[in-house]
């Protein structure tokens, strides 16, 4: 029997606990958290949503710089467990809600968020063997790597505040283009930033688009 022993990393100053059953926090994603935090100063009031939150470190690092509530969603009960632990470690448990379920199942119709952070799996199934250390649920994005990203895009379309923004993490600019081409046209991509481990795209509503 293999044991999953808790580990800790420092992520943008936060103590983050996790184990081998969830994705190890990747240092490059601090940039996504810091980008999110910088946007929060100018966005309308309201809670932050993180889709596919894993151990929760990206949303927590963004939320810790504001007074906003944070809603984290993940389909993996172990990830949700660690998000709750990490919210406590960060002293944010009073304003963090960790929801268990699929992106498309656990948001109420009338919920709106000025900022949505999304970190869906984005590795094509045929390529997942290249990442033997990573749990399949965390990285397997289906045939083209975008299957959960499509669900995340639909959730953003439905739940981003009319003056809100989203930051979605994917593997490449080509994936961002393919994802946006598949959407309803109600969102536009304002900027894509590239990092050593992936890309982050900033989306807004496409007024008149
Ligand atoms: C790439 S990991 C991101 C983890 C963390 N946010 C990060 O960036 O390090 C993707 C996460 O999505 C979760 N996930 C996979 N399918 C999902 C679905 N349909 N709905 C919600 N979460 C899902 C996995 O459990 C995993 O924690």
Q: Is the CB of 54 under 6 A from ligand 1?
A: yes
Task: Give the pLDDT score at 54.
Answer: 98
pLDDT tens, residue order, the chain (209 aa): 567 999 999 999 999 999 999 999 999 999 999 999 999 999 999 999 999 999 999 999 999 999 999 999 999 999 999 999 999 999 999 999 999 999 999 999 999 999 999 999 999 999 999 999 999 999 999 999 999 999 999 999 999 999 999 999 999 999 999 999 999 999 999 999 999 999 999 999 997 44
Tokens of 87: 């919210």
Q: Is the CB of 103 under 6 A from ligand 1?
A: yes
Residues 65, 40: Cα–Cα separation, whole Å:
9
Task: Give the pLDDT score at 150.
Answer: 98
DSSP label of 129: G
The neighbour count for residue 49, using CB atoms within 10 Å, is 29
Residues 25, 20: Cα–Cα separation, whole Å:
11
Task: Give the pLDDT score at 209.
Answer: 40
Q: Is the CB of 119 under 6 A from ligand 1?
A: yes
Q: Is the CB of 74 under 6 A from ligand 1?
A: yes
Strand partners, 100: 74
- Give the residue, by CA position, lying nearest to ligand 1 atom 6: 53
Q: How far is CA 130 from the centre of its chain?
A: 22
Q: How far does residue 138's CA lie from ligand 1's centre (Å)?
A: 5
Instruction: Tell me if 119 sits within 8 A of 139, measured CB to CB.
Output: no
Q: Is the CB of 25 under 6 A from ligand 1?
A: yes
Q: What are the domain boundaries of the chain?
A: 26-205
Place of tokens 């008149």: 208
Q: How far does residue 82's CA lie from ligand 1's centre (Å)?
A: 13
Name the architecture of domain 26-205.
3-Layer(aba) Sandwich (3.40)
Q: How far does residue 154's CA lie from ligand 1's centre (Å)?
A: 16
Task: Give the pLDDT score at 2.
Answer: 64
Q: Supply the DSSP string of 147-201, one letter for each residue.
A: HHHHHHHHHHHHHEEEEEEEEEEES-HHHHHHHHHHS-SSEEEEEEEE-SS-EEE
DSSP label of 27: G
Which residue in 196, 188, 167 sits closest to 61, CA to CA? 167
Residues 2, 114: Cα–Cα separation, whole Å:
42
Task: Give the pLDDT score at 3.
Answer: 79
State the first-to-last Cα distance of the chain, in angstroms, to the nearest integer.
54
Place of tokens 């059953």: 21
Helix orientation angle between 173-182 and 147-159, rounded to the nearest 10 degrees: 60
């Amino acid at each position: 029997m293999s044991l999953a022993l808790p580990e800790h990393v420092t992520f943008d100053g936060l103590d983050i606990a996790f184990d081998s059953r969830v994705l190890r926090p990747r240092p490059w994603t601090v940039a996504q958290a810091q980008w999110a935090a910088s946007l929060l100063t100018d966005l309308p009031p309201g809670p932050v949503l993180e889709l596919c939150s894993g151990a929760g470190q990206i949303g927590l690092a963004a939320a810790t710089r504001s007074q906003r509530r944070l809603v984290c969603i993940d389909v993996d009960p172990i990830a949700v467990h660690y998000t709750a632990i990490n919210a406590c470690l960060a002293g944010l448990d009073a304003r963090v809600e960790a929801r268990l379920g699929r992106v498309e199942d656990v948001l109420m119709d009338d919920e709106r968020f000025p900022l949505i952070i999304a970190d869906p799996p984005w590795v094509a199934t045929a390529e997942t063997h290249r990442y033997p250390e990573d749990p399949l649920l965390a990285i397997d994005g289906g045939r083209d790597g975008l299957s959960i990203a499509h669900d995340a895009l639909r959730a953003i379309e439905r739940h981003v505040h009319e003056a809100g923004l989203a930051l979605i993490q994917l593997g490449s600019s080509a994936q961002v283009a393919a994802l946006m081409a598949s959407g309803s046209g109600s969102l536009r991509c304002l900027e894509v930033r590239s990092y050593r481990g992936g890309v982050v795209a900033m989306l807004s509503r496409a007024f008149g688009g």
